[in-house]
């Protein structure tokens, strides 16, 4: 009887809701996360308690029982919803386990990866167009959570960025990135997205979470917000000259306080771009110079708002040898680790820098240095090629989306991933300041991983519900 029931079960119905999704966007994030778990384990081999797994046995049995009940209940609900019951129950059960139990960071990383995979499957099953009517609610909740962090958040290393829920710490700034992407995608999907009014509205929307995150302070996330906005504006056909003018105050903030002749040349170039691209040539040129002058002066103000450790990170990335035991220590040790890996690496779990814990924060911000030491240049290139291929799939989905909203949503996710990869890898090899940005899916970080999986789930929804061409 049981065998007959198994044969009569339509196994194709399990995968049919996801048949139009991109299989590579399932495999690559999961593969990178597994690699991250392996490398995180390598960084904490000398710290793991031998009997940590014993406290997980009873909750896992409980989770199995809950999932069994969900499977039975799911057979009595509408056929197209039973997968959501099962996947949602699994995600909730795993979060419940994490909230009350302690484990090595590599085990937590794998657990959160499974939760993220469940959320990705749910998002891929859900029509992304539903976000249009909820985007202001999502945006409001996101910014309220950022305000709540400033009022009653948990502090660590000079920054107040987390909300504690039991033993689970949520970082709202990570989810705020996704909230900003959704809101900008809705606004820029309108027909007048290339106008000055649309540009002003988009900047006003971005300014709200940007200010709240910058005040935490979280310089890295605030830079991600800026990159997302510029990338999505470009994809929405905003005049490239306007985007250059928009980014010019940041360059002026550096040149004005470092090399004044360079600032003069830069301002002259911006005046020319303002003359050519803005509707009012003379006022545009004068305004461009004025904005860059204000940007130069504002650089001093924002510099004063940064914490001392942030200033040291920015200053010392060019010459870390000037403070080898202080602000330059991270970069020096990271470069030693990556360089010692040479072509093929020292071997998994055999890196002297990694096993000796010479590189601080090696399981989070500097996980790429562990990859470089133990897997060598070949391992580093494999990781970068995986990210390149993932981004290529995102571009293909953005171009084939059935509407502007879906296309902009995918591009926002693409910019978020590309920017974080460039900044993270750049800072581990000394090509960028240490800004505290993790390597997507590879670094340890619960809120970051969940955000990245949800983001890919929304991309999969765009792929799953795009129009099909018939020949």
Summarised one tens digit per residue, pLDDT across range 372-386 is 999 999 999 999 999
**Cβ neighbourhood burial of 194 (10 Å; 0-12, 13-18, 19+):** middle
- pLDDT at position 282, please? 82
Q: Look up tokens 């029931």; give the residue.
A: 5
Instruction: Give 187's pLDDT tier (boundaries 50, 70, 90).
Output: very high
Is pLDDT at 308 greater than 70 in this prediction?
A: no
CA 135, 140, 142 angle in degrees (round to 5)?
Answer: 95
Distant-in-sequence, close-in-space partners of 11: CB < 8 Å, separation ≥ 6? none
What residues contact residue 447 under an 8 Å CB cut-off, 6+ apart? Answer: 169, 170, 171, 172, 174, 175
pLDDT of 315: 65
pLDDT, mean over the chain? 80
- Of the two residues 379 and 164, the one the predictor is more confident about is 379
Residue with the bigger pLDDT between 177 and 318: it is: 177
CB 373 within 8 A of CB 337: yes
More confident residue, 232 or 51: 232
Instruction: Tell whether the model's pLDDT for residue 69 goes beyond 90.
Output: no
pLDDT number for residue 1 = 44
Per-residue pLDDT reduced to its tens digit, 310-341: 666 666 666 676 666 666 777 888 888 888 88
What is the predicted pLDDT for the residue at 199?
Answer: 85
- Structure confidence by residue, pLDDT tens digits, 73-117: 555 554 455 566 566 666 666 666 665 566 788 888 888 888 888
pLDDT at position 262 is: 80
Of the pLDDT bands very low, low, confident and very high (cuts 50, 70, 90), residue 3 is very low
Query: What's the pTM?
Result: 0.87
Residues forming a β-bridge with 168: 165
Whole-angstrom distance, CA of residue 467 vs CA of residue 407: 13
């Amino acid at each position: 009887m049981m065998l007959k029931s198994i044969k009569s079960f339509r196994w194709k119905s399990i995968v049919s809701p996801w048949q139009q999704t991109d299989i590579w966007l399932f495999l690559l994030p999961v593969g990178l996360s597994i690699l991250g778990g392996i490398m995180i384990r390598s960084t904490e081999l000398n710290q793991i308690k031998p009997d940590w797994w014993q406290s997980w046995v009873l909750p896992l049995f409980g989770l199995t029982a809950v999932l069994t009940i969900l499977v039975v209940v799911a057979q009595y609900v509408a056929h197209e919803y039973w997968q959501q019951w099962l996947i949602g129950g699994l995600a909730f059960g795993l979060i419940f386990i994490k909230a009350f139990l302690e484990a090595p960071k590599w085990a937590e990383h794998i657990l959160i990866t499974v939760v993220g995979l469940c959320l990705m499957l749910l998002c891929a099953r859900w029509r992304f167009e539903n976000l249009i009517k909820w985007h202001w609610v999502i945006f409001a909740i996101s910014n309220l959570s950022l305000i709540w962090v400033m009022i009653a958040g948990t502090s660590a290393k000079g920054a107040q960025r987390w909300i504690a829920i039991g033993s689970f710490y949520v970082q709202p700034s990570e989810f705020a990135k996704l909230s900003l992407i959704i809101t900008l995608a809705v606004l820029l999907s309108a027909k007048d997205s290339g106008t000055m009014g649309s540009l002003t509205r988009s900047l006003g929307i971005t300014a709200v979470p940007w200010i709240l995150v910058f005040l935490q302070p979280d310089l890295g996330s605030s830079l991600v917000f800026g990159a997302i906005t510029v990338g999505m504006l470009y994809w929405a056909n905003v005049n490239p000259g306007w985007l250059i003018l928009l980014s010019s105050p940041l360059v002026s903030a550096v040149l004005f306080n470092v090399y004044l002749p360079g600032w003069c040349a830069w301002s002259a170039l911006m005046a020319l771009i303002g003359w050519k691209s803005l509707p009012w040539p003379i006022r545009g040129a004068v305004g461009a110079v004025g904005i860059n002058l204000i940007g130069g002066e504002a650089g001093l103000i924002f510099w004063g708002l940064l914490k001392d450790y942030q200033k040291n990170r920015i200053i010392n990335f060019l010459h870390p040898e000037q403070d080898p035991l202080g602000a330059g220590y991270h970069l020096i040790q990271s470069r030693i680790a990556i360089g010692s890996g040479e072509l093929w690496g020292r071997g998994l779990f055999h890196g002297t820098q990694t096993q000796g814990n010479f590189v601080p924060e090696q399981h989070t911000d500097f996980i790429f240095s562990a990859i470089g030491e133990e897997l060598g240049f070949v391992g580093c290139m494999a990781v970068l090629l995986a990210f390149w291929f993932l981004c290529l799939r995102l571009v293909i989905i953005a171009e084939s989306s059935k509407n502007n909203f879906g296309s902009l949503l995918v591009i926002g996710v693409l910019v978020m991933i590309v920017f974080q990869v460039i900044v993270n890898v750049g800072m581990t090899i000394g090509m960028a300041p240490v800004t505290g940005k993790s390597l997507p899916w590879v670094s340890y970080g619960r809120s970051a991983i969940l955000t990245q999986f949800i983001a890919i789930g929304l991309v999969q929804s765009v792929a799953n519900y795009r129009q099909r061409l018939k020949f």
